[in-house]
Structure 1
């Protein structure tokens, strides 16, 4: 569906049509990716937020593109986006549906000129990520997922050139485990040690979820701090591909304010993401 046609939809019909919503997310992610790559090629100036995490003008420019696009099309749907949230903008949201946006996930990868950074946009309803897009502009790859299917698209020039359906694989024995390159913890190392002979792969940002979704890995343990905007889009792709994300207690992983104040209301518990169980 073309962008102009999408704008003719009512807001209610758009958020209830995951295919149209996903197409909007893809357009906005590609546009944000172009902003990010312009900064990537020009050089990066790094600032620090109040929690000492890095932020760049690329984060802010990408966020502006996404939020302007969402608010022009679905203005009444709450949107929680990382940089706005860090500045204290946290709209009320709940089971009726809201957006989660990380305009530049993997800022450390971006700063260190590794290609694993992504643009993440997701729609959450009743605690579940029902549609999401993860775009890796430096890799020229875009992943999208909605109920009924997950897809990988090649974007060699910042536009979608080809697309294929992807599916999480049945778990191998031993499994392949994907872990965070920047946040490997003793708990993660202990988890990996439970699977003698397991292949381990390190990659940054929400691409870890996408590796499971495309059948390149089986497990992604996360014993470290993440926020809901870090995970919702990748989790949506994984679920659409037949995988799942669970808390350490084996409960379904959910989204939305969970108590606490400010940013802490959107902090994630530790989790295990996995592809399909062995057939």
Structure 2
């Protein structure tokens, strides 16, 4: 199944790049004031069509079609969790730091994830019990924590709470700003040590990269040390979390 999901992600990346290389993003504002472009919708359609064409069928939650009642989805054992274009603000800025995200969730746990950055042509994949890859080469988290922590943070959503949390650690650190789910992926490939997110995110923002990080030997927990789980409550908002 992983190879099929990678192809779907690449096809979505192509649809995004067709818009990215044009002069017409058709930027709109959603109800939460976040931006929406033609590329988000094009990638959403490609991914949903691709997943529905698979031999094995599961329900789909996408950022662009998330109006599914809790009464319906709380009974799901397995489902697809999709962010067709994570980092829309980075897309609009044309800095290349945006991704396609497809995760398979089982009983609240991401067991398969694909994160594709089309501008970088970087394909991160992770499967439970099978490890993580970047462009088909094995990756893993850093073997040990260095003296100076390499901390990834949001380029578009800086948080004073995050800075205060890091200062409270009492350990030197350097900030590596980057957009989208690439933050968690950098931890997965050992280029960063920790990503504290003390700000709002939704489940589709993290599911695929969470699967990659888990397969690479890392973990994502709430700030209270509990596992970050999916589809366990009515709203899609994640609690504050630490990826390490």
Report the TM range for the smaller structure's normalisation: over 0.9
Moved over 4 A (4+): none
Aligned residues of 2:90 and 2:97 also touching (Cα < 8 A): yes
Match of 2:157 in 1: 183
List per-residue Cα deviations over 1:130-182 (Å, max 9, x = no partner): 000000001111100002210001xxxxxxxxx21000012222321111111
Aligned residues of 1:32 and 1:119 also touching (Cα < 8 A): yes
Match of 1:199 in 2: 174
Aligned residues of 2:87 and 2:179 also touching (Cα < 8 A): yes
Aligned residues of 2:108 and 2:232 also touching (Cα < 8 A): no
* Equivalences, count: 238
- What's the CA shift for 1:272? 0.3
Decide whether aligned partners of structure 1 residues 272 and 257 sit closer, same or farther in structure 2, where only a CA change above 3 A counts. Answer: same
List per-residue Cα deviations over 1:38-92 (Å, max 9, x = no partner): 000012220011111100010000000000011121574111000112xx34562
Question: What secondary structure does 2:65 align onto?
Answer: helix
**Matched residues in 1 for 2:231 and 2:189: separation?**
26
Q: State yes or no: 1:269 paired with 2:239.
A: yes
**Matched residues in 1 for 2:78 and 2:205: separation?**
18
TM-score, normalising length from structure 1? 0.82
Match of 1:164 in 2: 137
TM-score, normalising length from structure 2? 0.94
Mapping of 1:120-269 within 5 angstroms?
120-147=101-128, 148-153=130-135, 163-169=136-142, 170-193=144-167, 194-259=169-234, 265-269=235-239
- What's the CA shift for 1:24? 1.7
**Matched residues in 1 for 2:197 and 2:36: separation?**
22
- What's the CA shift for 1:197? 2.3
Aligned residues of 1:168 and 1:241 also touching (Cα < 8 A): yes
Decide whether aligned partners of structure 1 residues 75 and 216 sit closer, same or farther in structure 2, where only a CA change above 3 A counts. Answer: same
Question: What secondary structure does 1:212 align onto?
Answer: helix
- What's the CA shift for 1:244? 0.1
Match of 1:17 in 2: none
**Matched residues in 2 for 1:81 and 1:93: separation?**
16
List per-residue Cα deviations over 1:84-126 (Å, max 9, x = no partner): 12xx345625451111000000000000111100000000001
**Matched residues in 1 for 2:22 and 2:180: separation?**
22
Match of 1:37 in 2: 17
**Matched residues in 2 for 1:56 and 1:173: separation?**
42
